[in-house]
Every structure is written in structure tokens, then in C-alpha cells.
Amino acid sequence: MTTNPHYFIAIPLPPEVKDHINDWKKKTMDKLSFKKWVHPQDFHITLFFLGASNNDELKKLSEKMKRISLSKQSFFMQLTQSGWFGKPAQPRIFWMGAEGSSALYHLQTSISNRCEEIGFSADKRPYKPHITVARKWVGKESFQKSIPLSPIDTVFWTVEKFVIYRTHLDREPKYETVETFPLKADK
């Protein structure tokens, strides 16, 4: 039995932002015991997780995403400090924060609404923009004893597009761009 590949919609990061996070990650890795560190080419900001999808769903999705991209302006984002999801002593996700203007939240809401129209299930938790850096704490001591970490310098960039990614669990980097949706240039 074959299963459909998994997909998600995300904001790709510019190379200089990926490099900035990766440099910080390299200085941090020896202080933190996570099972898996994210490949720098896989750094992104998820907007909507689709899960397993077939070609018909992807075709419908593509049409709706094209319409959204034609109606949304590019916008600025900035990198903020690190955080985690899960138990404070043993987090499952270690992330770098990302903040944007209200345009980020409007884009995410529009994408979420269109995805739900097709039949995809939205995450019920409030949207928290972030860049996953590592997964699954495996340290002998509590994660809380490993911090404070060195802060990362704030970086600003312009979000000019969003993409549909396909996940390949058997390789690194594991995310493949399937389709790109440019946003309107800021006037």
C-alpha cells in the first residue's frame, strides 16, 4: 500500500537568514542535547500543515493559493529569541521566534481558510510563527538547566513569497519546493 506524500505551506527564508540561524545553532548545539537538529536548508516558517495530499487536492490548493498571492503584499519580518514547545524540562521542539506585521497573520488566516474549504484540517492551537531548529530533548538533565543561551542578533527581511513544500523523510535536506507563490511588491 502506498501513501500520499505529505505537504505543507510555508514561508521560505532568504539564504542570509538561514546562514544567520545556522551560525547561532552551531554555537548552541554543544550546550543542548536534542535528538535531531534541523538541516539549515530546511529552515522555514510554517503557515499551514496539509499532511498527506493527492494530486486533485494539490491542484485545487494551487488555484486558491495563486488567488491569495495576487491579493497580498510583501511584508517585513524579524528574527526574535528562541523558545520551545512541549514540557519545559523536555521540549519536543526547540525554535527561533519570528515576528511579522499583521500582514503575516492575515496571510496565514487566508491560507488556513482556503485549505479548510478544500477539506484540510486546521490546527486548533493559536498560530505561533517560528523556525524549528531542533527536535526531541534527550538530555539527562532538565532542558531548563541548559539555558540561558546566547541571544541571537535580530535580523529583518522581506517576505516576498510563500511555497508548498513536499516532505521527504528519507533525505536531507528533506523539504522540496513544489510550487512558489510570489506576493505583490510593496509600493
CB under 8 Å to 128, separation ≥6 — which residues? none
The residue from 6, 106, 130, 168 that is catalytic is 130
- Judged by phi (left if over 0) then psi (alpha if -120 to 50, else beta), residue 86 lies in left
Residue 158's DSSP bridge partners are 76
Catalytic, 130? Answer yes
Backbone angles phi, psi at 155, to 5 degrees: -130, 140
Annotated catalytic, 168?
A: no
The answer to whether the beta carbons of residues 4 and 52 sit under 8 Å apart is: yes
- Rounded Cα distance, 9 and 113, in Å: 13
From the candidates 6, 39, 44, 106, give the one annotated as an active-site residue.
44
Across the chain, where does the E strand assignment appear? Answer: 6-12, 34-37, 44-52, 75-86, 91-100, 130-137, 156-159, 161-167, 175-182
Enumerate the active-site residues: 44, 130
